[in-house]
Structure 1
C-alpha cells in the first residue's frame, strides 16, 4: 500500500462521521450562508466551470453549485464520493487524483479545494497541474489552516496509524507552522495577485458551535491566486 492508498483508506473510513459532522442541523444554515459568501467572493461570476479537487463529502462542491456554477468534484476516497453523491444537487462527482486531475487543458474557470493542501503529496506539482486546467484569467482558491503545528505524529489515535511515518514524510505542508508555505506554493507556481484572507466568520461560527472531536478552534484562511 503506497502513500496515496493509505490516505484514501483513511478518508474512506472517516467518510460517515466526517459527513455527519458537516451536516449537523445546529449549524447547517449558518455554515451554508457563511461559506456561500466566501466562495461567491473568491470565484468568477456565475456560471463558471469549477473543479473541486479533493471534494470529500462534497460540501464545497454543493455550496458552489448553489451559487449557479457548473461544478465537478473529484476524490480518490470512494467512501467520500458515495456521501457526496447521496446529497443530490447539481454538482457532478467522479474519481480523480487532486495532484493529477484527469481533464484536458483549459477545461475550467476555477479550481478550488478545502482542507486539501496539507494532505497533498507534491503540492507544487498539484498547483502546476491545476494551472494547466485553467482558462486565461482563471482562479485558484483554497481554504486551509495550520492543523498540525506540532507535527502529525502528535495527533495520536487512528489518524496517526494511517498517517504513519511514510505518509508524513511525503506531505510537505502537513506540519507547516503557518499558512505562508501554502501561499508560497502559489507564488512559486507563477500565480499572480496571491492573497491570504483570514476567515473570521468561520472562526466565530466555530467559537459558537464548536469543532469536530480532536480539533481546536483556530483561524482558517482563504488563499487565492490568478493565472495571467
Structure 2
C-alpha cells in the first residue's frame, strides 16, 4: 500500500524540474505544436468545460485554455498546482486549479464536457474506481481522454518511486487492451490511437507503448 503523504512529497520534489522533460514542459515549438494539434482534434468544440486530472504543471491545461476552453485542474501536489497557476497567469489565460485527490476530484455537482488525464492511472491504488469517478463527472455526450502507456518510469529497473508502488495494479503503465477493457463498460464508445511513433510528442524517438484512449458517454 502506498502512503499519500509520501506520494505528495515525491511529486512536490519533482515539480521544480518537471518541465525539463520535453513532453512535460512543451517548451520546444515542435513538441508544443504536436500536442496542440492532437488536443484540438480530441476535445469538443470550444468553449467547453474541461477537467484536467493530475494536471501537473499545467502544460495541457494551458493548451486547452488557449484553444478557448474553460479549464479546471487538480493535482495532489501543491507545488505542481502553484506552477500550473503561474503558467496560465503568465500566459494571460484563465484557469481554476486546486489541490486534491485525482482519484475522486472534489468538484461537487459540477460536470464537464471533457475529462483529460495524462500518465496518471499507473499511480492509482484503485484505477478502476477512479475511472468510474471520472466518467461520472462527464455530461451526456462528454469525452474521456486518457493519454497512457507502458514505459520505463523512474524506479522500474530498481527501487519503486515510493514505498509500496510495486503493488499498484498498473505499476509501470497499462496496456491499451487492459485500459480499454476497464473503460468500455462505462462509456458508449471508445477508440485507441497509437502515439509511440510520433517523436514530436515526446521530443525524441521512443520504443515503448504510448497511446490515447478517447471515449464518449
Per-residue CA shift, 1:65-124, capped at 9, x if unaligned? 111100000001111111111212322211121111111235211100111121122111
Q: Deviations over 1:5-28 (max 9, x none)?
A: 222211110111112333374x2x
Evaluate the alpha carbon distance shift between residue 168 and residue 152 of structure 1 in structure 2; reply closer, same or farther with a 3 A threshold.
Answer: farther
Q: Secondary structure at the match of 1:142?
A: strand
SS, match of residue 174 in structure 1: coil
Cα distance in 2 for partners of 1:100, 1:60 equals: 20
Distance 1:172 1:84 in 2: 28
Select which of 163, 176, 181 maps to 1:179: 176
Residue 51 of structure 2 corresponds to residue 51 of structure 1: yes
Structure 1 portions without partners, runs of 5+: none
State yes or no: 1:224 paired with 2:214: yes
Contact 1:143 1:220 in 2 (8 A): yes
Instruction: Render the CA deviation track for 1:124-163: whole Å, top value 9, x for unaligned.
Output: 1111111211111111001011014xx975333xxx3542
Change (3 A) 1:193 1:91: same
Select the structure that is richer in helix: 1
Q: RMSD of the TM alignment (CA)?
A: 2.4
Native 8 Å contact 2:196 2:208 kept in 1: no
| Unpaired runs of at least 5, structure 2 | none
Partner of 1:103 in structure 2?
A: 107
Q: Which residue of 2 aligns with 1:168?
A: 166
Query: If the length of structure 1 is used for normalisation, what is the TM-score?
Result: 0.83
